[in-house]
Chain A
């Protein structure tokens, strides 16, 4: 039986790889087609990465024009940036807001996403499309509406509560959608196998399903946190006192660009790029940790089911 298991585990992906590589080798079309696709593709990639690169380079420069960037590189403006108490306060406010918003959006969205992925009920399709509404409505419009609401129900607060509530509303659909995709990607046979072995629903959820969608949760944090951290339209409409970092940058740009603003720009862009690097490496980290665990579980499951012990590779 262990022979069969091994064959089944490796043979199918190998077949798929073969089909895929032969399709790649032949390509969809001729040589000119591949040149055009790669050329335009790389152009778009360059186009999308250019502004961020320029922003990062500029943040180490000493000037507010691009061609003025000849006097060498400096970290002077980063130091200035951290000395400014107004910047520090707004940075702390931004971090606080995005942390609370990320956690709340995931906590509110996940149970519902689980229910959507595992059960069917009347009106599910309609509800599902309703969730996406905040995603397609301009944030300018949502913020205006919410500022009217909070003006009435929270007239005197100076806290960040309106901003937090408003941002949760904005990012709830993102969290819901990403976690839903995660739940849908889980192979149901894993849950069913656990159910067959007598695991309770809660145990299946916490021991099988949630660990399997951990990469998606991780991805959700990596999407929602920066979005929340950088959000300025709704935040600007709802904030009562103080400032967040994006709002600080916004008003500073309106009052004239200084090299310090470039440093703030670098500060806002670099963490995202770092987060992205983690995101690329993340799945492989998860995989490495998950694989032995799953194998071990599989072995135990097999052991208890058939009374034989399979050698772990």
Chain B
């Protein structure tokens, strides 16, 4: 769309510019210098009521999130500090739900969860980076198609797209059928194992990694790459000293999104994971829905929320969102 819009823009603005400013601004940068004047005039035109309406409009989503996100979060913390016994929640303050987290099973589950998330990000990130590079090298139309294929699974039902892997990796699944055909024979560790869980988790979070990386890669100007080539840089130098540094915010945000998504999963481990791998999300779900022990589930949830918050703040110290998305309108 970009170039078409540029065309329309210059057709639409040029006459106005030359009419107002005469020939003072040349053609190439003619629509740069005069810009601020009409906007400020427009904005200061009506301040009183307009400003209040504007304030209310800006506030709307935040009020919504305060009510439906803020209040429930406080509720979770409060519940996690309440006493639970025999399907009844007593409004006595206690730290028992938190001290219960230090049992062996829970600590192993926490370790498994962190290990799975880190493995998923570590294995998935290179693939996401390469597919983003690949997409960047394509023409606009094909790039759209690839991006679409990457996003499609995210838009389908989570349970079904996870479940579909049973047809791919199962005992009589696609991969095993192929393996038998080429004479290697059936492999049993493909499904209900650590392997299948990580494959399915990568499948689930790959779009979260690939899209931000692609967004930041599209900011790598071809002329910079050409300049590096002309200065005699080889492929590795261009990749590690030009492309990756520019793509850094996208890589960081992609890794962050993938990590915080995998750390909270509960569906995938139950559907395709190994029965011996218990993860934090499953503990929350079991306590809240099967056992009805909401205070205990809330304690698990609060710990999960805190881990995510720490990772989030650490990442945003390292990279600014603006670097990825840009702050102002296109100039």
Contacts and interface: CB of A to CB of B under 8 A. Distances in A.
Contacts of B238: 28-29
Interface string B122-144: 00000110110111010000001
Given A24-B137, A54-B168, A148 B75 contact: yes
Given A127-B62, A272-B156, A111 B57 contact: yes
B24 interface: no
A265 B288 contact: no
B15 interface: yes
B157 interface: yes
A74 interface: no
A92 interface: no
Q: Is the interface of A mostly helix, strand, loop or mixed?
A: helix
A10 B298 CA distance: 60
A54 B149 contact: no
Nearest to A6: B11
Nearest to B76: A145
Contact of A138 (B5, B281, B316, B330): B281
Contacts of A311: none
B103 interface: no
Interface string B320-331: 011001101111
A215 B1 contact: yes
Interface string A18-61: 01101110111110011011101110110111111011001000
Contacts of A118: 329
B318 interface: no
Nearest to B56: A111
B48 to A, nearest CB: 14
B134 A37 contact: yes
A44 B149 CA distance: 10
B42 A195 contact: yes
A119 interface: yes
A241 to B, nearest CB: 17
A253 interface: yes
A149 B68 contact: yes
B184 interface: no
A195 B15 CA distance: 14
Interface-central residue, B10, B222, B225, by most chain A CB under 10 Å: B10
Contacts of A86: none
A297 interface: yes
A141 B304 contact: yes
A255 B165 CA distance: 18
Nearest to A268: B157
A129 B65 contact: no
Interface string B161-172: 101110110101
A140 B65 contact: no
B3 to A, nearest CB: 4
Interface of A: 1, 4-5, 8-10, 12-13, 16, 19-20, 22-24, 26-30, 33-34, 36-38, 40-42, 44-45, 47-52, 54-55, 58, 65-68, 108-109, 111-112, 114-119, 121, 125, 127-131, 133-134, 136-142, 144-146, 148-149, 152, 165-166, 168-169, 172, 176, 181, 183-193, 195-197, 201, 212, 215, 223, 226-227, 230, 232-233, 237, 246, 249-250, 253, 265, 268-269, 272-273, 275-276, 279-280, 283, 287, 291, 294-295, 297-298, 301-302, 305-306
Given A5-B11, A137-B264, 18 more contacts: A12-B10, A23-B223, A34-B137, A41-B130, A41-B135, A41-B146, A48-B206, A49-B149, A55-B167, A65-B167, A134-B69, A138-B263, A146-B68, A189-B13, A196-B20, A201-B42, A249-B160, A280-B144
14 contacts: A37-B137, A40-B131, A41-B130, A50-B174, A134-B65, A136-B260, A137-B264, A137-B308, A142-B72, A145-B72, A188-B330, A249-B157, A273-B152, A294-B12
